[in-house]
């Protein structure tokens, strides 16, 4: 049930961003660039992470770092194969915080908001409406809207 509300919230964010841009009379070409840019960043990062997973082994069977090539014991939880910085970059491009901060900064410094930032917000809203959200570390395909991968067992 909560996912339905989050998707509706995303759809309303996208509609509001497009309506605000249309009402302000902004340039649609710049809006389009900012609408596509987070998707390009996310696709490039996802492709890089998928290649790294392929190289290192999907199930974490690659040798543990600092073990001189020794493989992990069967019961030991694998280290995440995708570094945390990937998730930070992806989530920064797909979070409403950065475009809102940039918009508020422009309003505070110059007295106006850079309208193409609304394209970024529209992209974020549309991606949330489609069920894609912020990535959950260390799971590559899981988001805050859906859990596609089984959680790793904690090391105790």
pLDDT in tens, 106-128: 899 988 888 889 999 999 999 98
The mean predicted confidence, pLDDT, of the chain is 78
Give the tens place of pLDDT for each residue, 72-98: 555 555 555 667 788 888 888 889 999
Element (DSSP H or E) covering residue 92:
helix 84-93
65 assigned to some structural domain? no
Residue 106 tokens read as 């422009």
138 assigned to some structural domain? no
Element (DSSP H or E) covering residue 42:
helix 28-56
What letters, b where the CB count within 10 A reaches 16 and e where it falls short, cover 28-40?
eebbeebbeebee
Mean pLDDT of 33-62: 76
CA distance 148 to 136: 10
- How many independent structural domains does the chain possess? 1
125 assigned to some structural domain? yes
pTM comes to 0.73
What is the residue range of 110's domain?
Answer: 2-60+79-129
More confident residue, 146 or 130: 130
Residue-level pLDDT at 2 = 61
151 assigned to some structural domain? no
64 touches 154 (CB < 8 A): no
CA distance 34 to 123: 8
148 assigned to some structural domain? no
Helix spans in 111-155 (H): 117-129
155 assigned to some structural domain? no
Residue-level pLDDT at 3 = 76
């Amino acid at each position: 049930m909560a996912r339905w509300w989050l998707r509706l919230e995303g759809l309303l964010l996208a509609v509001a961003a497009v309506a605000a841009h249309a009402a302000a009379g902004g340039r649609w070409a710049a809006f389009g660039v900012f609408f596509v840019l987070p998707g390009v960043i996310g696709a490039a990062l996802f492709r890089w992470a998928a290649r790294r997973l392929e190289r290192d082994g999907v199930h974490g069977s690659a040798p543990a770092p600092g073990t001189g090539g020794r493989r992990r014991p069967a019961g030991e939880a694998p280290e995440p194969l995708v570094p945390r910085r990937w998730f930070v970059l992806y989530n920064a491009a797909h979070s409403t915080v950065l475009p809102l901060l940039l918009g508020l900064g422009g309003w505070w410094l110059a007295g106006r908001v850079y309208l193409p930032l609304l394209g970024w917000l529209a992209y974020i809203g549309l991606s949330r409406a489609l069920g894609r959200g912020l990535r959950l570390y260390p799971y590559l395909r899981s988001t805050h809207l859906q859990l596609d991968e089984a959680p790793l067992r904690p090391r105790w």
